Structure 1
Amino acid sequence: MAESFEGNENGFEEDFEETMVEEFRQRFQLSDKVIGRGAFSVVKLGQEVETKRNCAIKVTDLLKLQENLDLNAGDLLHEAEIHLQLKHPYIVEMIDSYYMSGKMFMIFEHMEGEDICYEITSRANDGYSYCESVISYFMKLILEAVNYCHERNIVHRDIKPQNILMAFQNTKSPVKLNDFGIAVQLKDDELCTPGRIGTPHFMAPEVVLRLSYGKEVDIWSVGVLFFLLLGGTLPFNGSGDALYETIECGIPENNAPVWDIISDDAKDLLSCLLKYDTNERVTAAEALQHPFIRNFKNCSKTHLQESVNEMIKFNNSRRFKKYVSNAVSVKTGAVEDKEDENKYQVNCSIDTMTVSELSENLFESLAEIHQLSGASIENFSVLKSVLSNPQIKAYLKIYDKLHEPLTVEENIDKGDVISKVMEDCNGSQVEVPEKDELLKILSKPHFSGLLWCMDKISNNYDSDADLPQNNSTVSFDDSDKIFVRLVEFDKSPNTRLGMTVKMREDKRCHVVRVMHNGFIHQQGTIHIGDEIIEINGIVVSHLTPSKLRQIMLSLSGKVSFKIIPTTRQSPQSVQCYLKSQFTYNGDNDDSMPCQHLGLSFTIGNILEVVNTDDTKWWQARHINNPESVGLIPCPDLREWTYCRPTSKKNSHSWLNNFLNKKKHSKETYEADRSSDFDVFDIPSYEEVMQVNLCKRKTIVLLGANGVGKRQVKTQLIKSSPIKFASPAIDTTRLPRMGETPGKNFNFLSKPDMLRKIEDREYLEYRSFEVEKNQVEYFGISYDAVRTVHEDGKIAVIDVEPSALKVLRNKEFLPYVVFISPPSFDQLGSLCDVSVFSKKGKSDEMITRIIRDSQKIESQFQHYFDLILHHENVEATVSELISAVDQTQITPQWIPVSWIY
């Protein structure tokens, strides 16, 4: 019965697929014209049979997609399910989708134009005006498309120029929103799971900070796109962590001259779209009612040539990245910060290009370099001269020729060929010494044997009958042609190999790790990926993992390995320095693949990373102990560990799932741990470098309220007023007798200060209810800190720890000092008077100060440069001055982002 049912089911699947194929052929006609090509997909021009309307048919090879990106048909069906329900004039229509013969066919309406930025510069070059009226029209269409999605609880999550396409190539063409590959449809009041997804430059702060988020992320992305349309540049620049830090600050770079002629309405809409607080950020429906959108016909008609010039540079930068990506044959799926090959989101792959063709491609791309900001004319000329050198081109062509596969004629009897050559030589009337020498060589049996071997190799000869018999049998795949290498060396009993092997399910043993500076690494004979066949004559495929481990540990004296060398390239050496932001005990980590290889460290240790080939466990060593190479968890593994689910069913299941890259069910997280996400990213590592001189510009005093920070700050400035100063504090309270405006306080009206708060001009601000229904504000502005720096002094500020995420950069160069409380008895005499002026110095409040200090230290210790145990004001200040002086004369380890 079981066999009968299985046969019926397979028959049903075959009949269903035949029906799908027949339906597809009846509805669509697929041409050979390729619109775009990618690593896993190809987009061809098609036509609807009934309407004769052109369409774009995207064909995705699901087998390749799953092998390379761990995606499957379900992921593409999810995209199709969302896209098919969207029927809007300003959204690229998905007509239908089919799953046939291991391929996914997705049919879209055909878009004749390019993406919005390319079309804008193209039309401007043709003489058409580009002004705020045009931008308002484009924004209206984009917002209507986004609003339509949001009304259906669909979050796009990847709005960017590449996904805003022109329907036609005429000047009246509308723009349409495209690519719902990572879109998600939420339930009412549901939020997206925290995580960085999308294109980095267009990510909202809540996405960068890995917080839960909703539809507001699309509004932020639209704001970034609006900024680009107005000024021709992106509001947040950089890459990697530096880019994420600028987004976290939420202050766009709009200092270009073009912004002087941008209207107030446009700037106001931009500020509404790029509100840092999601509760204050406008919705798409609200943005459509903004005067800049509602009255687009009345917007400025002034041509924005400067914006067009900047957008040309932006487009050339994207195009140059694509050329370089092509030139190095990068095969990608959907990679962050890579320019899309075409408007249908299929990435490029040019496996068939030769090296010489790639060099030509790169040479042609150099024509765009001079358009990019900051391009070096000298470097451009040097590289251009090298790539255009005829001799270099000739060498590259020779290289290509040498690496072409040999074309071998089959079924040719080489014996007959030799006989023919010898017959011709004997019949020749020319008498030269070379003829006799050739005949002598051809008549030797060794030469005939050599030709026979070459024939068998070139024709992939493989016959077990001709091979010598051997009692030891090793199972190989007959389709693989292999080379076996014998490795021998002497090893003392106490020397560790420094190599990790893994026995796979098919009984094949592979080298998965070689420790840097270990015995095997120094030998240089065995590499990651090599397959081990025998150890000292013992066939490893017959061994259990425990027996293999026992043999590996007992090796000494004369040791031999038979291995099949890997075809993969050896990993390049890596050298970078990390400052640890957490304490780790490698000896007690059950997830460590090799217990004795774990490298322990504490917060603040400087580690030199020497190998990152393993995606989960990196090799590193302490800078003061070069021989201490060990394994440390990579940042992703550290983050996974920190955020592990609260489920107690299996204490190790979370790690096993991570290491095996399984998909996980949705889990809840501890509330107190989740609150940490609101403060900072998960403590992991920070890339640092050593500099000989780094004069800190800001001293940041941290500590619990009442621990004595104000006393330390006052005494520090008093001890050297020409060196230290406190920024003037903005306040809405009235001046008191003897206070001079601008000295310690800047007295502002409440509307002025509230406006500055809304414009995010404050590093930190607070409000106090001085009387019933009367609130006064106090704040430290960025400009006040900058004023102290401009006077050549070190700014001393007392802020909450959360302010560190905007202070820790190369502008403020902070020196972070934590004021640690003394004993319970000593604390009462040191506490700030203001804290106890109303309630007195109770034991309960002193206990609260100690508890708050411990909490701050546990959460932010990895950012501390100095911890001062505060027992005496004079002694504390003296120690602080000495430490600051040392930073100006001794080498320091500082974040790389402060340098570049």
Structure 2
Amino acid sequence: MQQVLDNLTDLPPSTGAEEIDLIFLKGIMENPIVRSLAKAHERLEDSKLEASLLEAHDIVASKCYESPPSSPEMNNSSVNNQIVPVDAIRILGIHKRAGEPLGVTFRVENNDLVIARILHGGMIDRQGLLHVGDVIKEVNGHEVGNNPKELQELLKSISGSVTLKILPSYRDNIIPQQIFLQQDELHSLVFVKCHFDYNPYNDNLIPCKEAGLKFSKGEILQIVNREDPNWWQASHVKEGGSAGLIPSQFLEEKRKAFVRRDWDNSGPFCGTISSKKKKKMMYLTTRNAEFDRHEIQIYEEVAKMPPFQRKTLVLIGAQGVGRRSLKNRFIVLNPTKFGTTVPFTSRKPRDDEKDGQAYRFVSRAEMETDIKAGRYLEHGEYEGNLYGTKIDSILEVVQTGRTCILDVNPQALKILRTSEFMPYVVFIAAPELETLRAMHKAVVDAGITTKLLTDTDLKKTVDESARIQRAYSHYFDLVIVNDNLDKAFEKLQTATEKLRTEPQWVPISWVY
């Protein structure tokens, strides 16, 4: 600006006033500062226009169309035998691919199709234009009737532009979708481990089979909505994708509550031996065993933890399946990482036995006192002598920085599966009868054992293994079929090494 004024002072005296004005204005317009201000103003106006267009688009997408009535009759519409103003009807346009689900389910209410639920992460949920309770009146200009299944099939088959005429469940301004997402995030960080297989296409109770989520036993799901008491919304943690419907804990418990468990009339409880002559029987309290009989496992809430060393490695399996061989090999090859307990007994030591090696010898009175005080994980009696595993002996191994390996009866898992012991539970399953027979023959031929087992004994092992797996599989972190001892050891070793390098899903009670 100062430069423009300096130029004016250099003009000859004969220059007229009009010429001076033109020169002054020209100088201002050519000034770089003025030009920058002009460009900024143009951009600001363009931004305002763009914002206006976006605002208009949002209003069209989210508000009711309000057309001036041409007659009193056109000013109202009949819905559910009630007079409803025309401006309550909304027309929505969406674009979809053929076969792509909208992520909604419907129910019949007063002979109308009403949105029953909106699946988390689905198309409709992402757009935020429809809400639970909205009545669907027309699709592409055609009335929808009152059959939810037909409407689902119609919407699934349509591709391209889809026009919906709806009667909304509210008339107020739409709350921005971000608020819903923030509220969902506060309640969506719930993860569960599934203890049963589920296929929605085999479920006669699910309101919409296409909206169901298939999963397998042992999978981890994220629960994103639990408002419906019968049907939760969940998504796969590993595979991702939008949410689907799964039966709630309440619904699945009702379905399974009166199903006879396989041990109800199977004689002795699995893991016990009816004849005292065969082997000493280890057992827990009757209360725990009775609790196991009535326990129904559906979902278990879990949390993801970084890699860490488990305090105990628990081997579960039927008698004679090879648990002790695996345990001993682990300890011999990795004495600084793994250890085990020394059992207690009330019998007198033999001449070649030293206290603390194969057994810890205590008096029967002392052992009975500790049993009554709950200091034993499990105990039993054999030929008039007590035997048992003391809980403190497990903690003694853990305090040395090693993982304590235990081969116990499955009922002990009720006590062990806590944050105090943090077990990694491996079920050593028996192979098929033919394979087990061949393995036993090889052991006898090699002179490793002189004890001959009959086919009846081997079949009992296979049957007991199957019963344990059915009754306690919800506790297992890994299942290994021991059809080859070397291969079973390699699988077990690989699994324990992964615990130190990979994240782990553990019961929520271990964390909070």
Scaled by the length of structure 2, the TM-score of the pair is 0.70
Aligned CA distance change for structure 1 residues 545 and 489 (closer, same or farther; 3 Å): closer
Cα deviation, residue 638, structure 1: 1.7
Distance 1:511 1:743 in 2: 70
Cα deviation, residue 820, structure 1: 2.0
**1:734·1:747 contact (CA, 8 Å) conserved in 2?**
yes
Root-mean-square deviation over aligned CA pairs: 3.6
Question: Which residue is 1:499 aligned to?
Answer: 104
Residue 329 of structure 2 is aligned to residue 715 of structure 1: yes
Alignment of 1:221-300 (within 5 A): none
Among residues 786, 796, 801, which one is paired with 2:395 in the alignment?
Answer: 786
Distance 2:340 2:504 in 1: 25
Q: Deviations over 1:587-633 (max 9, x none)?
A: 32222221222222222212222222322222222222212632221
Distance 1:793 1:826 in 2: 36
Q: Deviations over 1:409-458 (max 9, x none)?
A: xxxxxxxxxxxxxxxxxxxxxxxxxxxxxxxxxxxxxxxxxxxxxxxxxx
Among residues 387, 394, 405, which one is paired with 1:796 in the alignment?
Answer: 405
Residue 360 of structure 2 is aligned to residue 751 of structure 1: no
What SS class does the counterpart of residue 503 from structure 1 fall into?
strand
Cα deviation, residue 480, structure 1: 12
Among residues 490, 493, 502, which one is paired with 2:95 in the alignment?
Answer: 490
Aligned CA distance change for structure 1 residues 496 and 641 (closer, same or farther; 3 Å): same
Distance 1:672 1:595 in 2: 36
Question: Which residue is 1:861 aligned to?
Answer: 473
Distance 1:670 1:481 in 2: 64
Q: Deviations over 1:814-841 (max 9, x none)?
A: 01111122313334147899xx999831
> What is the one-letter code of the residue matched to 1:887?
L
Q: Which structure 2 residue ranges, 5 or more long, are not aligned?
A: 1-70, 270-288
> What is the one-letter code of the residue matched to 2:168?
I
Q: Deviations over 1:835-873 (max 9, x none)?
A: x99983111101111111111122222322222232444
Distance 1:870 1:848 in 2: 16
Aligned CA distance change for structure 1 residues 471 and 899 (closer, same or farther; 3 Å): closer
**1:535·1:561 contact (CA, 8 Å) conserved in 2?**
yes
Distance 1:859 1:690 in 2: 26
Distance 1:878 1:581 in 2: 27
Cα deviation, residue 566, structure 1: 4.7
Distance 1:840 1:567 in 2: 82
Question: Which residue is 1:888 aligned to?
Answer: 500
Residue 229 of structure 2 is aligned to residue 615 of structure 1: yes
Question: Which residue is 1:114 aligned to?
Answer: none
Among residues 603, 610, 635, which one is paired with 2:249 in the alignment?
Answer: 635
- Compare CA radii of gyration and give the structure with the larger one: 2
Q: Deviations over 1:483-529 (max 9, x none)?
A: 5443222334332222111112x224321121222221122111223
Question: Which residue is 1:899 aligned to?
Answer: 511
Distance 1:471 1:607 in 2: 48
Among residues 180, 189, 203, which one is paired with 1:589 in the alignment?
Answer: 203
Distance 2:290 2:219 in 1: 24
Cα deviation, residue 696, structure 1: 0.5
Residue 168 of structure 2 is aligned to residue 564 of structure 1: yes
What SS class does the counterpart of residue 241 from structure 2 fall into?
coil
Percent identity, please.
Answer: 32
**2:309·2:403 contact (CA, 8 Å) conserved in 1?**
no
> What is the one-letter code of the residue matched to 2:509?
S
What SS class does the counterpart of residue 629 from structure 1 fall into?
strand
Distance 1:671 1:467 in 2: 72
What SS class does the counterpart of residue 700 from structure 1 fall into?
strand
What SS class does the counterpart of residue 572 from structure 1 fall into?
helix
Question: Which residue is 1:473 aligned to?
Answer: 78
Aligned CA distance change for structure 1 residues 839 and 491 (closer, same or farther; 3 Å): closer
Among residues 429, 432, 457, which one is paired with 1:820 in the alignment?
Answer: 429
Cα deviation, residue 565, structure 1: 2.7
Scaled by the length of structure 1, the TM-score of the pair is 0.41
Distance 1:555 1:860 in 2: 47
What SS class does the counterpart of residue 627 from structure 1 fall into?
strand
Residue 190 of structure 2 is aligned to residue 576 of structure 1: yes
Aligned CA distance change for structure 1 residues 749 and 824 (closer, same or farther; 3 Å): same
Q: Deviations over 1:358-379 (max 9, x none)?
A: xxxxxxxxxxxxxxxxxxxxxx
Question: Which residue is 1:452 aligned to?
Answer: none
Alignment of 1:199-218 (within 5 A): none
**1:643·1:669 contact (CA, 8 Å) conserved in 2?**
no
Among residues 696, 704, 727, which one is paired with 2:310 in the alignment?
Answer: 696
Distance 1:767 1:522 in 2: 64
Cα deviation, residue 583, structure 1: 1.8
Distance 1:669 1:791 in 2: 41
Q: Deviations over 1:445-475 (max 9, x none)?
A: xxxxxxxxxxxxxxxxxxxxx9544685223
Cα deviation, residue 874, structure 1: 4.3
What SS class does the counterpart of residue 240 from structure 2 fall into?
coil
Distance 1:696 1:670 in 2: 31
Aligned CA distance change for structure 1 residues 699 and 567 (closer, same or farther; 3 Å): farther
> What is the one-letter code of the residue matched to 1:501?
F
Number of matched residues?
A: 406
Among residues 299, 324, 331, which one is paired with 1:685 in the alignment?
Answer: 299
Question: Which residue is 1:178 aligned to?
Answer: none
Distance 1:634 1:590 in 2: 15
Cα deviation, residue 891, structure 1: 1.5
Cα deviation, residue 697, structure 1: 0.8
**1:826·1:871 contact (CA, 8 Å) conserved in 2?**
no
Aligned CA distance change for structure 1 residues 546 and 605 (closer, same or farther; 3 Å): closer
Aligned CA distance change for structure 1 residues 549 and 867 (closer, same or farther; 3 Å): closer
Alignment of 1:76-155 (within 5 A): none
**2:108·2:146 contact (CA, 8 Å) conserved in 1?**
no
Distance 1:843 1:544 in 2: 60
Distance 2:365 2:241 in 1: 62
Aligned CA distance change for structure 1 residues 470 and 751 (closer, same or farther; 3 Å): same
Q: Deviations over 1:67-123 (max 9, x none)?
A: xxxxxxxxxxxxxxxxxxxxxxxxxxxxxxxxxxxxxxxxxxxxxxxxxxxxxxxxx
Alignment of 1:65-80 (within 5 A): none
Aligned CA distance change for structure 1 residues 636 and 480 (closer, same or farther; 3 Å): farther
Distance 2:444 2:358 in 1: 19
Cα deviation, residue 740, structure 1: 2.5
Question: Which residue is 1:513 aligned to?
Answer: 117
Question: Which residue is 1:247 aligned to?
Answer: none
Aligned CA distance change for structure 1 residues 611 and 536 (closer, same or farther; 3 Å): same
What SS class does the counterpart of residue 167 from structure 2 fall into?
strand
> What is the one-letter code of the residue matched to 1:745?
Y
**1:691·1:892 contact (CA, 8 Å) conserved in 2?**
yes
Distance 1:720 1:544 in 2: 66
Distance 2:398 2:298 in 1: 31
Q: Deviations over 1:700-725 (max 9, x none)?
A: 11110111212222222122222222
**1:701·1:818 contact (CA, 8 Å) conserved in 2?**
yes
> What is the one-letter code of the residue matched to 1:881?
Q
What SS class does the counterpart of residue 679 from structure 1 fall into?
helix
Question: Which residue is 2:33 aligned to?
Answer: none
What SS class does the counterpart of residue 184 from structure 2 fall into?
coil
Which structure dedicates a bigger proportion of its chain to helix?
Answer: 1
Cα deviation, residue 749, structure 1: 1.5
Distance 2:262 2:405 in 1: 38
Among residues 511, 532, 538, which one is paired with 2:136 in the alignment?
Answer: 532
Distance 2:139 2:367 in 1: 76
Aligned CA distance change for structure 1 residues 509 and 886 (closer, same or farther; 3 Å): same
